[in-house]
A and B are shown apart, each in its own frame.
Chain A
Amino acid sequence: MHKFLIRSFVSSLVLLFTLTVAAVAKDVKAAFVYIGPTGDHGWTYQHDVGRKAVEAAGFKTTYVEGVPESADAERVLRQLANSGHDVIFTTSFGYMNPTNKVAKEFPNVKFEHATGYKREHPNVSTYAARFYEGRTILGTIAGTMTKSNVIGYVASFPIPEVIRGINSFTLAAQKVNPNIKTKIVWAFTWYDPGKEAEAAKALIDQGADVIAQHTDSTAIVQMAEKAGVYAFGQASDMDKFAPKAVLTSVENNWGPYYVDRVKAVANGTWSQKDTWHGIGDGMVVISDLDSQMPADLRSKVKKLQADLASGKVHSFTGPIYDQKGNLMVAEGKTADDGMLAGMMTYVKGVEGDIPK
């Protein structure tokens, strides 16, 4: 009898302990909402690579692809929040208002919105990458490799993110080759292989022999391959789609951030943040440099990459002038994040006007 009591006491203690441990190490589930298909080899593809890193770190994940930025986004978010997900990553700008709206209703669920600026509730964080640092590298390569001194650039929408990229690219190209001009074609889309290919073709017809892009499909590098000009991959390493044309790619590397944030949710240390990481933090990655680039250019690029990572070099270091010749950043100064976040003027050397 006595023995039985002790035994049952011990076993109930063990049971209690297991239950407590189970409660603490609660399974954290993360959800991802994508604007496009996971097979776009661009924006969504890279977010899904990040999601897989979260899975590899031992967490459960769910994703919904092709969610339009219409009234549907809100329903998908609510359904994810309602079905036991602890943290939801919304990976397109257009989800900003639905994210904040649903976050209000689910204060215990964490929301992470990519590329937005609204954090209306304490459970909403925002994150973005300093892609312009990658474009400093691309500009350096483009300015060196061009023979026609005309560089083409397929842009998506005239928002600060894209203008900043064009400027950073042009400044870097001018540094190695003061004679270059950057020609822009606005595609007004993030993903439309047909339109993107047309835009690239138009630029090539105007004499561009290096094409950069701020849209997501592989159509531009493939068009460049056909026309025999150089191009750069966007978002993911696009070398396999156009081995001759692609000199390097700027990869979006979301994995480390995602794992970090999901772990923070699991440990109970998650708090609201506005993250803007670049090459130094590994969110922006430069793919392998193509062997068509001269060896001295390759070593120069490697050094630049290290300097951008350490902060020794800043993409926007003065003196920087706008198209009309007004001083934007004084000599020896660098642009602060506020200026970068609202950048809506071209620097000198970019052709054309920003569409209004």
Chain B
Amino acid sequence: MIKIVKRDQPSRAIFFFTPVLAIILTLVAGGLIFFILGFKPFEALKFFFIVPIADKYGFSELLLKATPLCLIAIGLSFCFKSNNWNIGAEGQLTFGAIVSGGVALLFYEQEGFYILPTVILAGAIGGMLYASIPAILKTYFNTNEILVSLMLVYVSKLILDYLVVGPWSNPEGFNFPETRQFSDSAKLPLLFEGLRIHAGIFLALAAVVISWFVFYKTYLGFQMKVSGFSLKTAKYAGYKGKKMIILVFLISGACAGLAGVGEITGPIGQLHREISPDYGFTAIIVAFLGRLHPVGIIFASLVVAITYLGAETAQIFMQIPKYTGQVFQGMILFFLLASDYLLFFKIKFIGLKK
């Protein structure tokens, strides 16, 4: 007989096991979907998850794809750990890219060592400015940060549209919606000849290390943890909640802004309408799949990055519709949320006693 029993307290082992379970379930369900669609499930899964990263180039593309996801998810984990629901990382990414792109355009056809750091800093500030809007509205006017941050995503995309169609469009570009190409001094250096992986990966790794330190070694990290468990307790303990809310939003915005910088000064090299395939939203899945833990987020960003690459490979070699990549991302989150049930309940198999 099977019996479901409530746990006295959430299991820590299960806490780190459920993401793995979610990935396994996603693979099984994915294989099943491929089978139903008439594809060989194992071959399809191979083209989805192994072929795209089987060579050096493929692996570098995986890292390139995982970099913005990891960076944003690290930033988001500051918010999510402390009960602040920043859903607008995509907007902060876009606004960071706008500000840093604007600075990069100011330095058009100029070279100098100071250009790149200025451009990067501008992106971080842009992201922080944009994240401060939901933070300030939440702390001083009690607005709902989920709605405000989400709606601001669309505002940022419209601002970007306006700029690349209008005042910032390339004067030699027949009015097509794109800016000029940035000068080399405004671009992140490539790490290897012939590969697209760029210095932005160090920003992501630095964010991982710093966040681990803050989460587990500082007073701020402890405050965030307490606020995450119970806002009332945090208040009772006398924490200055407003300051913390604004701080975590600023950190989150800076990370998203830097991810935007990485895209436009890395592989893209200019501003145009489509700078991010919704990294800001996908990073929410990454943050939760990584259990808001810096190391977990590294692994989660790699797993989710594969779903992007795999979808392309599967279409090229097996004619599987590319949109299955999004199906996989959805399934991972779905199974993760579903298997979290095991955190609070356990399944007991009660054998018939002889």
Q: CB within 8 Å of B: which residues of A? A: 31, 37, 62-72, 74-76, 78-80, 83, 93-94, 97, 117, 157-160, 188, 341-342, 344, 355-356
Contacts and interface: CB of A to CB of B under 8 A. Distances in A.
Contacts of B272: 69, 94
Interface string B240-268: 00000000000000000000000100111
Contacts of A83: 316-317
Given A64-B312, A74-B267, A75-B312, A160 B175 contact: yes
Nearest to B321: A65
Interface string B286-323: 00000000000000000000001100110111010111
Interface residues of B, number: 37
Q: Interface centre among B166, B263, B266, B268, by most A CB within 10 Å?
A: B268
Interface stretch (B120-128, B135-143, B209-217, B273-281): B273-281
Given A159-B174, A159-B175, A159-B176, A70 B315 contact: no
B274 A69 contact: yes
Contact of A355 (B166, B267, B270, B276): B166
Given A157-B177, A159-B174, A65 B276 contact: no
Contacts of B321: 65
Q: Interface centre among A188, A344, A355, by most B CB within 10 Å?
A: A188
Nearest to B326: A66
B165 interface: yes
B9 to A, nearest CB: 44
A341 B308 contact: no
Interface in B172-205: 174-178, 181, 196
A185 to B, nearest CB: 15
A4 B166 CA distance: 80
A157 B165 contact: yes
Contacts of A80: 316
Closest 4 CB pairs of A and B: A71-B267, A69-B274, A68-B277, A159-B175
B270 A71 contact: no
Contacts of B74: none
B316 A188 contact: no
B196 A74 contact: yes
A70 B174 contact: no
A160 B64 contact: no
B175 A344 contact: yes
A97 B267 contact: no
A329 B170 CA distance: 27
B263 A70 contact: yes
A79 B174 contact: no
A83 B51 CA distance: 12
B90 interface: no
A71 B316 contact: no
B161 interface: yes
A93 B167 CA distance: 20
Interface of B: 57, 61, 64, 161, 165-167, 174-178, 181, 196, 263, 266-270, 272-277, 308-309, 312-313, 315-317, 319, 321-323
7 contacts: A63-B315, A70-B275, A71-B267, A79-B313, A83-B316, A83-B317, A94-B272
A74 B274 CA distance: 13
B315 A65 contact: yes
Contacts of A344: 175
Contacts of B267: 71, 74
Nearest to A62: B316
B222 to A, nearest CB: 38
A93 to B, nearest CB: 6
A157 B266 CA distance: 27
Given A66-B322, A66-B323, A97-B181, A356 B270 contact: no
A241 B181 CA distance: 42
A89 B322 CA distance: 18
A70 B316 contact: no
B175 A71 contact: no
A261 to B, nearest CB: 20
Contacts of A78: 57
A64 B175 contact: no
Nearest to A68: B277
A25 B97 CA distance: 49
A64 B316 contact: yes
A356 B270 CA distance: 20
Given A94-B274, A158-B165, A159-B176, 10 more contacts: A66-B322, A69-B273, A70-B274, A70-B276, A70-B277, A71-B64, A76-B316, A117-B174, A188-B165, A356-B167
A37 B316 contact: no
Nearest to B161: A188
A70 B274 CA distance: 5
Given A70-B276, A74-B196, A341 B268 contact: no
Nearest to A93: B176
Contacts of B176: 93, 157, 159
A76 B273 CA distance: 19
A63 B314 CA distance: 11
A29 B161 CA distance: 37
A355 B165 contact: yes
B316 A160 contact: no
Contacts of B268: 70-71
Contacts of A157: 165, 176-177
Contacts of A79: 312-313, 316
A79 B322 CA distance: 14
B269 to A, nearest CB: 8
Contacts of A159: 174-177
Q: Interface centre among B181, B272, B308, B312, by most A CB within 10 Å?
A: B312
Nearest to A35: B274
B322 A64 contact: yes
Contacts of B165: 157-158, 188, 355
A160 B174 contact: yes
A106 B313 CA distance: 19
Nearest to A65: B322
Nearest to A78: B57
A78 B177 CA distance: 24
Contacts of B308: 72
A97 B263 CA distance: 15
